[in-house]
Structure 1
Amino acid sequence: MSEPLLTEHDDRWIMNLRGQDVTRISIDHRLTLLLDSDARIALGCPFELSQGSKRTAESVVLDPGRQNVAAALGLFGATVVSAVAFKTGSMRLVFDNGCHLNCRAHPDYEAWEVLGPEGWRIVSGPGGGLAVWPGHAGGRKAEH
C-alpha cells in the first residue's frame, strides 16, 4: 500500500513529496522548483532559505519578484526530505542537502502553491489559510 498523497492533521497538511528530486528551477515573477514526479513548487513572495541545523543556521530572505533568488540555485538536484503546509498559510520544505525553505503567508497575495502528483494542489491564500484540492482521490476544493 502506498503512502497517501496528502495527509491532514489538526494544524497542517503533510505533502507526500519525500524522495522527489529538484530537476529544474525556473525564475520569472516566481521561483518554481520542478520535481521528478512533475510536481511543482511555485513561490511568488519572499521566503527564507537556510542551511544546517535550526539553531546554528543563518537564513537569507529571497524575493522572486525581484529575481533575487541566486541562493536557491543550490536546490538543484536536492531531494525533498519533508514537505509541510501549515493551515496558517506557511510552508516548510527540508532537503537532503541540509537546506530548509520556509515561506509565510502574505497579507495581500498568494505566497506559494504546490501542484502535486496525481493532481492535488495546495495554495497559500492572501492573509493566511490554505486552499486544498485533493486531486484524483477527492476532487472537491477544501478551505482551511
Structure 2
Amino acid sequence: MTFRSVSEVPLPDQEIIDLVRQSAVDIPEGSARLAKSFYDNLFMMVPEVRGMFAADIKPQQQRMADALMSVVQHLDSPDEVAQYLQRLGHQHHRDLGVLPEHYPHVGRALVRAVSEVSPTWTSAMSSAWVLVFQWITANMLAGAQQSENASPYVSRRAR
C-alpha cells in the first residue's frame, strides 16, 4: 500500500470539516464510548496489534478520545494541528512501534466507531471522515518518517 505525502493530501475543505464536526457534536471530548468502540473494532480487525498496548487500555482510550476530539475542534488551525499530528506520529512510531501498514486499519476502526456513537451519522459523514483521516495519516506518517531519519527505530517494547 502506498501512502501519500503531506504535500499530496491537502486539508479537506470547510464543507468536509463541517460534516466531521457535525458527526462529533454529540460526542463529548474524552468520550469513553467512542474510544472503547474504536479499540474494540481495531482489535477485532487486527488482533495482533493488541500487544502494542498495556493490559489496562483505559488510559490509552482516554488519550485517544481527547486527541481526536481536539483535532476535530481545531481543524481551523491546520498548521498547529499538523505539527501536533507529526509529533504524535513520531511518538507512536517510537514508543508503540506503529507502522504505516497499521493506519488503514486505524482509519476503518475510527470511522466505524464514530458511526456507532454518533446519533446524526450519514454516509456523507463517512466519506468526510475518510478524507480527514487521510490528512491526519499523512501528517502522522510525516512525523514517523522524521523519527526514522533522526535516529534508529527502537520501540519502548523492545527496550
- How high is the TM-score relative to the length of structure 1? 0.29
The structure with the larger Rg is 2
Q: Which structure carries more helix by proportion? A: 2
The structure with higher relative contact order (CA 8 Å, sep 6+) is 2
- How high is the TM-score relative to the length of structure 2? 0.27
Q: Which structure carries more strand by proportion? A: 1
